[in-house]
Chain A
C-alpha cells in the first residue's frame, strides 16, 4: 500500500517527441505527488508537483496529468531535448508524514538527437 509503481523502466525518444512516464498508487492517504529528475552523479531535483484536487499541471515543457479515481498520474515532456536525458522518479507523500517521500522505481529516459 505504500508503493508507487512506475513504468516504463527505460524509454528512448527522438528529439522533439513526447515521452510519457506513468505511475500508479494504492494508498488514498497520499495527497502530494512530486516528480524528480536525476542526472548521473547528482541527487534528485524536484521538477514539478501536483495535489489530487487538480487534474493537470504545466510548468514549461513538463505536464503532470492526474486521475484521482484511477489512482494514476503521468509526466509528459513536450518538445523533448537531449538535455532532458535523465532518470525520472514519480513520488508520493501524505500530510501526516510529509517528509517521508515514497519514490517510484525510476525511468531512465534517453532523448536521441
Chain B
C-alpha cells in the first residue's frame, strides 16, 4: 500500500514569506502528526490532527499552524518565515494516534533565505 506522501520534497522561500506543506497519510489512517527536524534541535513535535481536530500541540510559536481535511490529508502552514525555520518537516500518520506506531513520510526540505 502507498506510504505517507509529502509534497513538495524541496522548497526555497524568502524570509518573511509564508509556506504551505502538504501531507497525504496512509489510506485509512486518521491521525497525522508533524515534526520539525534540524541538526541543532533534532526532531521536535509540532502538532497532531485527528478527525480534522488538533489534538496535541508542541511548543512552537503561533506562526506554525495546520489543518486536516475530511479525507485525512493535512497541511501545515508557516507564516512570516525566519531563517531558523529552515528544516526538514516530517509528517507521520497512524490509524488512531495511539501506540501502534507511526509511519513517517520522507519530508519536505524547507530552506529560508
Contact = CB atoms under 8 A, between A and B. Distances in A.
Interface of A: 32, 34, 41-46, 49, 89, 93, 97-106
Given A43-B90, A43-B104, A44-B90, A103 B99 contact: no
A62 B62 CA distance: 40
Contacts of A99: 31, 33, 45, 48, 50, 55-56, 94, 97, 102
B58 A104 contact: no
B98 A98 contact: yes
B42 A98 contact: no
B99 A93 contact: yes
A73 to B, nearest CB: 16
B107 interface: yes
Contact of A98 (B4, B58, B99, B105): B99
Contacts of A98: 97-99
Contacts of B113: none
Contacts of A93: 99
Contact of A44 (B43, B55, B58): B43
Contacts of A103: 42-44
Contacts, number: 57
Interface residues of B, number: 26
A104 B102 CA distance: 16
Given A34-B101, A46-B101, A103-B42, 5 more contacts: A41-B106, A43-B105, A99-B102, A100-B56, A101-B43
B90 A101 contact: no
Contact of B48 (A32, A89, A100): A100
Contacts of B26: none
Contacts of B97: 98-99
Contacts of A42: 104, 106
23 contacts: A43-B105, A43-B106, A44-B104, A46-B101, A46-B102, A49-B99, A89-B43, A93-B99, A98-B99, A99-B31, A99-B48, A99-B56, A100-B33, A100-B45, A100-B48, A101-B33, A101-B35, A101-B43, A101-B45, A102-B45, A103-B42, A103-B43, A103-B44
